């Protein structure tokens, strides 16, 4: 599949990077300006990054599943590359959720882990994305199809995991990460969410471009071998 | 608060590390690609 | 589902079970290792011998051991095909792929259920819990939990047929996905085992959850099995 000429792609990436950077500057400003939460103070501000990362983890899982469907049922190589890239981003942002979450919890409730519904669901989703990457790498000849099946089960598991953990936890007191948003905080939150989503878009574009190039290199190597054979 | 700094710091670090790794790979593959194209053009100047 | 689908499903399930029935190798080895897993858990958790904890521990150990030995069953049921490449002949046969999937799921589930009965008795004894007070409910939960696990596991085990790291990967890929099943089943079972629980409402809730989860997993498995297994 012909890839875009390098110059136009670099331009696209540069513009996207600039937009991302700008959005983050604006968002961070808004976060700094946002009112402090009454009970938790400064620590609550972690959630401006924590929640968008959780959202990106879920987005990555869904996109991974979408790409996997395209690959499994449509034979789409592009879908497969998107799935892989998306899974890696899922691992990345999932890690961010799982580090920021306990830090927040420690400051808010004194313990790092509370089996809170959303955090536990994020943990499981993250494990599935890690499993995807492992399956791709070590799954043998059918690695891509194995991973694709995994992605589909992971996506369908999102609601199942969430509900089962939530009702599992109804024995214990319900502790939630996300407190209700005061109007002054909403702007900062949505800006942060936007900035992160654009960042995700940038990262996945770059990562898919890497896979595109790798595929093209293989094609060219084959072509080169053929050409050299003909010459000889 | 220490936790806030740690949380934000980790996220930035993780994202930039990933960007760095992927960006480097993109550059390296780009180099390989141009090299291959050059070699093909030398053999088949079409 | 047409009549021929069920005919093939039954054929495949019975073929596998007949093979296992003849040598009984898998039944004995599975049963023994499952019992050992239960013992290991019992020793490790011996300090928590508070009698009030009995039902919860019994349920938890039962389902954890089931999951671990279930991976053995999955590997075995698909192993036969790996050994003499008979998966190829199976795929070339007129049997619809979905029937192969269903047959394998049924065979795996029945194998697991046989061992689970032994395990239930064992945990009842080791944790001094009355396990057979609500026999029908117990049977339903064992069946639904096992089905959920097998429905997912067969897909991955089949996809891993030609992978070298199959043993290492199967559990790693499967467990995060079946956590909702584990949660639901162990919660329901714990309530069943507990003589002090006021009513069986949690049991009926989790049973309905398990039913929904099984329907989802089986549907997805039926859909995905063919593209995952065919090709190269």
Provide, as residue numbers in chain C, all residues whose Cβ is less than 8 Å from the Cβ of A79: none
- Best mean pLDDT range from A77-91, A171-185, A217-231, B19-33: A77-91
- Predicted confidence at residue C139, as pLDDT, reads 95
Is the distance from CB of C26 to CB of C73 less than 8 angstroms? Answer: yes
Q: Which residues are CB-neighbours of A7 under 8 A, at least 6 positions away?
A: none
Average pLDDT of every residue of chain A: 87
Domains held by chain C: number:
1
**Closest to A158 (Cα-Cα) out of A80, A83, A64, A51:** A64
The residue ranking higher by pLDDT, C27 or A131, is A131
Whether B30 contacts chain A with CB within 8 A: yes
Residue C1 clears pLDDT 60, i.e. is over it: no
- Predicted confidence at residue A156, as pLDDT, reads 96
The pLDDT tens digits for A21-53 are 888 888 888 888 777 776 767 777 888 889 999
Residue A37, beta-bridge partner list: A41
Alpha carbon distance, N-terminus to C-terminus of chain A = 28
- Predicted confidence at residue A64, as pLDDT, reads 97
**Confidence band for C96, pLDDT divided at 50, 70 and 90:** confident
Pick the range with the lowest mean pLDDT from A8-17, C97-106, C179-188: A8-17
Name chain A's partners: 3 or more CB pairs within 8 A. B, C
Count of CB atoms situated within 10 Å of the CB of A170:
10
Provide, as residue numbers in chain C, all residues whose Cβ is less than 8 Å from the Cβ of A128: 176-177
Residue C92 clears pLDDT 80, i.e. is over it: no
**C95 is written with which tokens?**
């049997």
**C140 is written with which tokens?**
């339903």
Q: What is the mean pLDDT of residues A68-79?
A: 94
- Give backbone dihedrals phi and psi of C231, rounded to 5 degrees, phi first: 85, 160
Name chain C's partners: 3 or more CB pairs within 8 A. A
The residue segments making up the domain with residue C188 are 3-229
Residue B42 clears pLDDT 50, i.e. is over it: yes
- Predicted confidence at residue C110, as pLDDT, reads 92
Separation in Å, CA of A179 to nearest CA in chain C = 26
Whether C160 contacts chain A with CB within 8 A: yes
Separation in Å, CA of B45 to nearest CA in chain A = 11
Provide, as residue numbers in chain A, all residues whose Cβ is less than 8 Å from the Cβ of C209: 163-164, 167
User: CA A151, CA A131: separation in Å to the nearest integer?
Assistant: 9
Is the distance from CB of C178 to CB of C213 less than 8 angstroms? Answer: no
- Predicted confidence at residue A213, as pLDDT, reads 92
- Predicted confidence at residue A4, as pLDDT, reads 58
ipTM confidence score: 0.90
- Predicted confidence at residue C18, as pLDDT, reads 81
The residue ranking higher by pLDDT, A28 or B22, is B22
- Predicted confidence at residue C197, as pLDDT, reads 79
Q: What is the length of chain A?
A: 232
Q: What is the length of chain C?
A: 232
Pick the range with the lowest mean pLDDT from A169-173, A221-225, C203-207: A169-173
Pick the range with the lowest mean pLDDT from A62-76, A144-158, C69-83, C207-221: C69-83
Q: What is the mean pLDDT of residues A209-231?
A: 88
Q: What is the mean pLDDT of residues C154-159?
A: 93
- Predicted confidence at residue A1, as pLDDT, reads 43
- Predicted confidence at residue C162, as pLDDT, reads 81
Residue A118 clears pLDDT 60, i.e. is over it: yes
- Predicted confidence at residue A174, as pLDDT, reads 58
Average pLDDT of every residue of chain C: 87
Q: What is the mean pLDDT of residues A104-119?
A: 84
- Predicted confidence at residue A28, as pLDDT, reads 83
User: CA C188, CA A197: separation in Å to the nearest integer?
Assistant: 40
Provide, rounded to the nearest whole percent, the portion of chain B with pLDDT above 70: 96
Q: What is the mean pLDDT of residues A181-210?
A: 88
- Predicted confidence at residue A108, as pLDDT, reads 79
Whether B33 contacts chain A with CB within 8 A: yes
The residue ranking higher by pLDDT, A108 or C211, is C211
Residue A37: left (phi > 0), alpha (psi -120 to 50), or beta? beta
Average pLDDT of every residue of chain B: 87
User: CA A194, CA C42: separation in Å to the nearest integer?
Assistant: 50
Q: What is the mean pLDDT of residues A78-91?
A: 97
């Amino acid at each position: 599949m012909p890839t875009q000429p390098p110059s136009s792609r670099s331009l696209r990436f540069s513009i996207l990077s600039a937009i991302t950077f700008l959005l983050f500057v604006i968002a961070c400003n808004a976060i700094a300006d946002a009112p402090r939460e009454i009970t938790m103070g400064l620590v609550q501000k972690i959630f401006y990054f924590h929640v968008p990362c959780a959202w990106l983890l879920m987005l990555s899982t869904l996109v991974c599943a979408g790409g996997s469907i395209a690959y499994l049922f449509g034979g789409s190589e592009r879908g497969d590359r998107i799935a892989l890239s998306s899974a890696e981003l899922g691992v990345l942002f999932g890690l961010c959720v799982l580090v920021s979450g306990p830090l927040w919890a420690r400051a808010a409730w004194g313990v790092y882990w509370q089996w809170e519904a959303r955090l536990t669901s994020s943990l499981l989703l993250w494990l599935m994305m890690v499993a995807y990457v492992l399956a791709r790498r070590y799954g043998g000849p059918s690695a891509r199809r194995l991973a694709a099946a995994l992605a589909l089960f992971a996506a369908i598991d999102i609601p199942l995991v969430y509900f089962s953990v939530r009702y599992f936890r109804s024995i214990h007191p319900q502790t939630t990460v996300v407190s209700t948003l005061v109007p002054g905080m909403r702007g900062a939150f949505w800006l942060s969410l936007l900035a992160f989503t654009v960042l995700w878009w940038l990262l996945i574009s770059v990562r898919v471009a890497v896979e595109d190039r790798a595929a093209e290199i293989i094609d060219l190597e084959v072509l080169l071998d053929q050409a050299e054979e003909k010459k000889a | 608060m220490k936790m806030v700094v740690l949380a934000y710091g980790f996220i930035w670090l993780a994202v930039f590390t990933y960007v760095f790794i992927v960006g480097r790979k993109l550059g390296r593959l780009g180099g390989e690609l141009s090299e291959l194209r050059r070699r093909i053009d030398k053999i088949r100047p079409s | 589902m047409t009549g021929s689908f069920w005919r093939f499903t039954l054929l495949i399930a019975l073929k596998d079970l007949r093979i296992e029935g003849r040598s009984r190798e898998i039944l004995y080895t599975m049963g023994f290792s499952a019992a050992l897993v239960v013992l290991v858990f019992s020793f490790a958790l011996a300090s928590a011998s508070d009698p009030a904890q009995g039902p919860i521990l019994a349920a938890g150990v039962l389902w954890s051991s089931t999951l671990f030995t279930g991976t053995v069953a999955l590997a075995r049921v698909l192993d036969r095909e790996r050994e003499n490449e008979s998966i190829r002949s199976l795929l070339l046969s007129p049997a619809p792929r979905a029937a192969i999937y269903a047959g394998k799921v049924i065979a795996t589930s029945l194998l697991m259920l046989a061992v689970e009965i032994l395990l239930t008795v064992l945990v009842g004894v080791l944790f001094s819990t009355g396990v057979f007070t609500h026999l029908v409910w117990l049977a339903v939960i064992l069946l639904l939990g096992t089905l959920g696990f097998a429905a997912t596991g067969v897909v991955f085990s089949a996809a891993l047929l030609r992978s070298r790291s199959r043993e290492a990967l199967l559990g790693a890929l499967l467990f995060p996905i079946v956590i909702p099943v584990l949660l639901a089943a162990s919660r329901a079972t714990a309530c069943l085992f507990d003589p002090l629980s006021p009513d069986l409402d949690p049991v009926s809730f989790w049973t309905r959850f398990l039913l929904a989860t099984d329907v989802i997993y089986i549907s997805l498995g039926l859909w995905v099995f063919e593209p995952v297994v065919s090709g190269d």
